[in-house]
Structures are given as C-alpha cells and as structure tokens.
Amino acid sequence: MSTDTNVFTATGRRKTATARVRIIAGTGKLTVNGREFDTHFSHEDFSKQAYAPLVTVAMLDKIDVTANVRGGGVAGQAVAVAHGIARALQKLDPELRSALKKAGHITRDPREKERKKPGQPGARKRFQFSKR
C-alpha cells in the first residue's frame, strides 16, 4: 500500500466485473490493466462511459487513473471502472458527491444475471407446452 496521502483508491462493480481504481493528481493518463483506455475498451462508447465521472466534474486533464479489472465482459467492466472512479473522486473531494450523484455515477447498478432453474432450458425460458 502506498504511503502517499494524495492516492485515493476505490472499488467499482457491475454484474460480475470488479474494478480496483487508483486516482492520483496528474496530467490525465488513463490506464486499465496496464493498457490505455482506448485499447482495452474496444469500442469508443465503452471508453467514454468509463471516464464519464471525470468529465462530469471537469477533472479529465487533472487526474491520472489506474484501474485493474477482472470478470465480466467489456460493457460491465466499463461501468465498473466508472463506478470505481466516481467513488474515488468522492474520497478525493466530498463536495463532488452531489454532482456525481445527480449524474448517476455513485449508485451501483444492482442487476445481476438470474440463475438457471432446474427442469428448464434457461432462467425464464420454458420447454414448449403440449396440451395433448
């Protein structure tokens, strides 16, 4: 663990993806699993979604972000990183909470995949009903 007081860490989650995020005052360098945001998140929309909390509080060029993400798919990982960044920004400056909350970055999306039930082909799908 770092002894620097200007390093803020937080955990973001979405579906089965978990992101451990560290933010430090810097020049706006964004990395995920040792790669650039644009390289890790294949589509432009995912990378924009991941750094959306920084745009909301106008700190995109003032903070360096390092994230480690495990589990889930690309979309879930992007939202998990955004959730982690928002929580870390809240630790950095508690006054940012209202802006982040209003934009919906603080709230964790609680939706998870529903389990498959026994005797059925899927979570909700049923086998075809035959009356006769």
Summary mean pLDDT of the chain: 93
Distance between CA atoms of 27 and 69, rounded to whole angstroms?
22
- pLDDT digit string, tens, across residues 76-94: 999 999 999 999 999 999 9
pTM: 0.88
| Position 132 confidence tier, pLDDT thresholds 50, 70, 90 | confident
> How much is the pLDDT for 60?
92
**What pLDDT, on a 0 to 100 scale, did the predictor assign at position 3?**
58
CATH classification of 8-103, choosing from 3.30.230.10, 3.40.50.410, 3.40.50.2300, 3.40.50.150? 3.30.230.10
pLDDT digits (tens, 9 = 90+) for 19-55: 999 999 999 999 999 999 889 998 999 999 999 999 9
